Amino acid sequence: MSLKRTVFFISDRTGITTEMLGHSLLAQFESVEFQQHTLPFIDSPEKAREVVKRIELAAREDGVRPLVFSTLIGPDIRDIVATGNALFIDLFSTFIDGLEAELGVPPSHAIGLSHRVGNAYSHRIEAINYTLNHDDGTTIKSLDQSDIIILGVSRSGKTPTCLYLALQFGIQAANYPLTPDDDGRIRFPAALLPYRHKLYGLTIAAERLREIRNERRPDSRYASLENCRDELRQVEELYRRENIRYLDTTSKSIEEISTTIMQEVRLSRRLF
């Protein structure tokens, strides 16, 4: 039994969905070392035959057949790839027959229907532009057009969260930093008063914040554990006092933070 395996994620489009589901399946087998390759845009018989060659080569070199995760839609191309010496895991066709039977209509077998172009593209770009223009409190202009305004101390995860909300869900996400005034106190920014209902706070463990800040400005007062603790204590008090929902981002991925926010404030995604 080999504990090292070659894995191919094969798609006629980007392969991103294939990879994502493949990763979560493989994550269940931690003791195996996977050598992973994504092969996107496999949309012709020629490319499919090249893939078969790569599969055969890996099987010979490893002395054990590779795993193939496929979301290939076209039956012809899929059939070619499936001839390779591999465990062929068909993330797509496995479910299509059941869906056809249930829905009573035949599948179109058309490729590339799931990505966002046209209007959805424009909408997404607008959301990204909005988010970039409202990053880190750059402007309070047109905050009324935001879907949400994320608050937090410096380096608590505001920017990546907002960008992910914009890219993945088409949400116009502004963010605004909570920073100490000259007297060291963090106050509720008056500019945000009219948008109270859109505010959402982030917090993070002081130790983690210190690590992150220390990478940016090593050994600074800004990055000191004492300062991190003080700022976080103040913003958490502020969130509670002002009745602002908030989330601890320590050990959460950007996906998890974003999805949690979407769910808690009942934001509807603007992209499908």
Identify residues 169-208 at the interface with its own copies (CB under 8 A). Answer: none
- Does the footprint of its own copies cover residue 4 (CB under 8 A)? no
Beta strands in the chain, from DSSP E residues, in sequence order: 4-10, 33-39, 67-70, 87-90, 148-152, 173-177, 199-203, 246-248
Among 23, 54, 229, 270, binds its own copies (CB under 8 A): 23
- Does the footprint of its own copies cover residue 46 (CB under 8 A)? no
Q: Which of residues 215-234 bind its own copies (CB under 8 A)?
A: 215
Select the span of 87-95, 170-178, 218-226, 229-237 touching its own copies (CB under 8 A). Answer: 87-95
Among 52, 140, 254, 265, binds its own copies (CB under 8 A): 254
Q: At what angle do helices 158-169 and 254-264 cross, to 10 degrees?
A: 70
Which residues does 172 contact at the CB level (< 8 Å), separation at least 6?
Answer: 126, 127, 130, 131, 134, 145, 146, 147, 148, 166
- Does the footprint of its own copies cover residue 116 (CB under 8 A)? yes
Q: How far apart are CA 240 and CA 161, in angstroms?
A: 21
Q: How far apart are CA 203 and CA 102, in angstroms?
A: 45
Written as one letter, the residue type at 60 is: R
The DSSP secondary-structure symbol of 85 reads S
- Does the footprint of its own copies cover residue 40 (CB under 8 A)? yes
- Does the footprint of its own copies cover residue 119 (CB under 8 A)? no
Select the span of 51-59, 129-137, 181-189, 223-231 touching its own copies (CB under 8 A). Answer: 129-137
- Does the footprint of its own copies cover residue 141 (CB under 8 A)? no
Q: How far apart are CA 137 and CA 131, in angstroms?
A: 10
Among 29, 45, 76, 138, binds its own copies (CB under 8 A): 29
Among 113, 141, 183, 221, binds its own copies (CB under 8 A): 113
